[in-house]
Amino acid sequence: MTSYTKDEIIPSTTITRNFGDILNRLSQKKLEKVAVIRNNKIEAVILTVESYEILNNMNSLEEQKELYNIIMQRMKNPEQVDFEDVLKEYNLSKDEL
């Protein structure tokens, strides 16, 4: 679970009133992230574009790693399935594809 400093937890009403200032603090790296709270619950997190892109790239790399592992596993244990059998199993015809 992500942890937040006291300064990073900001009520939504405060963000509404001070949005420009909060963006400046993020871009100047005075804040790493901002947890937006409403009714004492974190509803959203505001990040810089740079932080978002890093997280997005990490997620993409994790997905690629999972696909690689699936491919490697399948190569170790090749299991061939006849295309016609798959069509029959799902009550499909080539024309429907």
Mean pLDDT in the chain? 93
CA distances (Å), 19 to each of 10, 14, 82, in order?
11, 8, 59
The CATH number of the structural domain formed by 6-48 is 3.40.1620
pTM value surpassing 0.75: no
CA distances (Å), 18 to each of 2, 11, 12, 64, 68, in order?
24, 11, 10, 39, 45
Q: State yes or no: pLDDT of 44 exceeds 80.
A: yes
What percentage of the chain exceeds 70 in pLDDT? Answer: 100
Hunting for tokens 């790693």 — which residue is that? 65
